[in-house]
Amino acid sequence: MSEPSPDVYERGRGMDAHNKVMREIRGLKEKHYDPHEPTRVWIDEDNTPSGVYQSLTIILNTGGCRWARAGGCTMCGYVAESVEGGTVEHEALMDQIQVCLDHEEENAEEKSPLIKIYTSGSFLDEREVPAETRKAIAETFSDRTRMVVESLPDFVDREKLDDFVSEDLETDVAVGLETATDRVRRDCVNKYFAFDDFIAASEEADAAGAGIKAYLLMKPPFLSESEAIEDMKSSVRRCAEYAHTVSMNPCNVQRYTMVDELHFRGGYRPPWLWSVAEVLRDTADADAIVVSDPVGHGSERGPHNCGECDDLVQKAIKDFDIRQDPSVFEQVDCDCKGTWRAVVEEETSYAMPLAK
């Protein structure tokens, strides 16, 4: 696989105009974080190819995403959570893991069979997580069943994945593909890689005996509600050929992003929860586990309906995540569904949002 350099990331990839705007916006950030503390950690439940497991999700605080430093994706505010200076040492990263283990011991009755590690970047990028740390983390969790590590396709490499596979862990790489449509990924998300790179990464993971979990983003800026729905329906089906699990997540408005600027000026509305339900219902027959975890549901900056039915629809989505049964959506209804239908039919990308 190609070795990315900051120069390559900086020029000629993504849209220069998008990168320029994102750099200016990110320049406003003021927060700094302790390299000995993870960005976030929590316990949840996840549907995997080998069953539903209690999961420990860790967001490691690494130096942050290199692409984000060049400008980065239009919706991603994670760089604002990175440490100052750019890199975090092995010892500090292992301190973060210890904080997560302590959190698990305090908040769960048993050890989680599933460990998911995200870095707001690439866990497999050795400038973010050195090889020494990666191996130590694999050993730390060798008594668990499954492991998910997040990475951009460039860094997926069979030798790195072998650290986990050789510990007898069912290993998956979580790839933030966002959409299977190259034009939308480049022009709306400002992400630099192509669907073909994702396919190559899935082949590399397969050669290591690992699987792929694809993350999709519903409704990046500049797409109307109906375009966003169609983009997700086709993306879920195309991804299912290469990934055993697809996590389709609605865009939310994060601070210090282009999406935030657009939203502030009335030019962006996160997707309706009805749209999320519609994609899940339509793609229920795809050959993959398809889940969604709407963050900030029901709020103006998160995916939302009318305010009355948001919790109910969110509950149906979470039900679907575990049972994969599209009939859960027949049991929820609300008057606002008529408004949503009108938006889907009438909204155009040059005159939106049509409704709040």
Chain residues binding ligand SF4 by CB under 6 A are: 65, 67-68, 72-73, 76, 78, 120-121, 152, 176, 191
Confirm or reject binding of residue 334 to Zn ion (CB under 5 A): yes
Q: Quick one: 59 or 273, whose CB is closer to ligand SF4? A: 59
Integer Cα distance of 84 and 32 in angstroms: 6
Nearest distance, CB of residue 152 and ligand SF4, angstroms: 6
Q: Quick one: 69 or 144, whose CB is closer to ligand SF4? A: 69
Nearest distance, CB of residue 316 and Zn ion, angstroms: 12
Integer Cα distance of 279 and 217 in angstroms: 12
Confirm or reject binding of residue 190 to Zn ion (CB under 5 A): no
Token reading at 254 = 């994060």
Nearest distance, CB of residue 270 and ligand SF4, angstroms: 16
Integer Cα distance of 139 and 185 in angstroms: 35
Integer Cα distance of 299 and 266 in angstroms: 15
Q: Quick one: 191 or 219, whose CB is closer to ligand SF4? A: 191
Confirm or reject binding of residue 309 to Zn ion (CB under 5 A): yes
Nearest distance, CB of residue 308 and Zn ion, angstroms: 5
Length of the chain: 356
Confirm or reject binding of residue 336 to Zn ion (CB under 5 A): yes
Token reading at 329 = 């959506």
Instruction: Choose the one of Zn ion, ligand SF4, none that binds residue 336, judging by a C-beta under 5 to 8 angstroms depending on kind.
Output: Zn ion
- Kindly indicate which of the ranges 105-113, 273-281, 299-307, 315-323 contains the residues binding Zn ion, using the contact rule CB under 5 A: 299-307
Q: Quick one: 73 or 243, whose CB is closer to ligand SF4? A: 73
Token reading at 65 = 């995403």
Instruction: Choose the one of Zn ion, ligand SF4, none that binds residue 269, judging by a C-beta under 5 to 8 angstroms depending on kind.
Output: none
Nearest distance, CB of residue 189 and ligand SF4, angstroms: 8
Nearest distance, CB of residue 80 and Zn ion, angstroms: 32
Token reading at 209 = 């005996």
Token reading at 93 = 């990263």
Instruction: Choose the one of Zn ion, ligand SF4, none that binds residue 67, judging by a C-beta under 5 to 8 angstroms depending on kind.
Output: ligand SF4
**Backbone φ and ψ of 319, nearest 5°:** -65, -45
Q: Quick one: 316 or 336, whose CB is closer to Zn ion? A: 336
List C-alpha distances in Å: 161 to 118, 158, 217, 267: 15, 5, 25, 42
Angle formed by the axes of helices 336-346 and 273-282, to 10°?
80
Sign of CA dihedral 54, 60, 66, 69: positive
Instruction: Choose the one of Zn ion, ligand SF4, none that binds residue 305, judging by a C-beta under 5 to 8 angstroms depending on kind.
Output: Zn ion
Identity of residue 29: K
**Backbone φ and ψ of 270, nearest 5°:** -60, 160
DSSP code of residue 252 = -
- Can you say whether residue 147 is alpha, beta or left, with left for phi > 0 and alpha for psi between -120 and 50 degrees? beta
Q: Quick one: 210 or 229, whose CB is closer to Zn ion? A: 229
Instruction: Choose the one of Zn ion, ligand SF4, none that binds residue 65, judging by a C-beta under 5 to 8 angstroms depending on kind.
Output: ligand SF4
Residue listed under structure tokens 């191996």:
135
Instruction: Choose the one of Zn ion, ligand SF4, none that binds residue 153, judging by a C-beta under 5 to 8 angstroms depending on kind.
Output: none
Number of residues that bind Zn ion (CB under 5 A): 6
Binding region for Zn ion (CB under 5 A): 305-306, 308-309, 334, 336
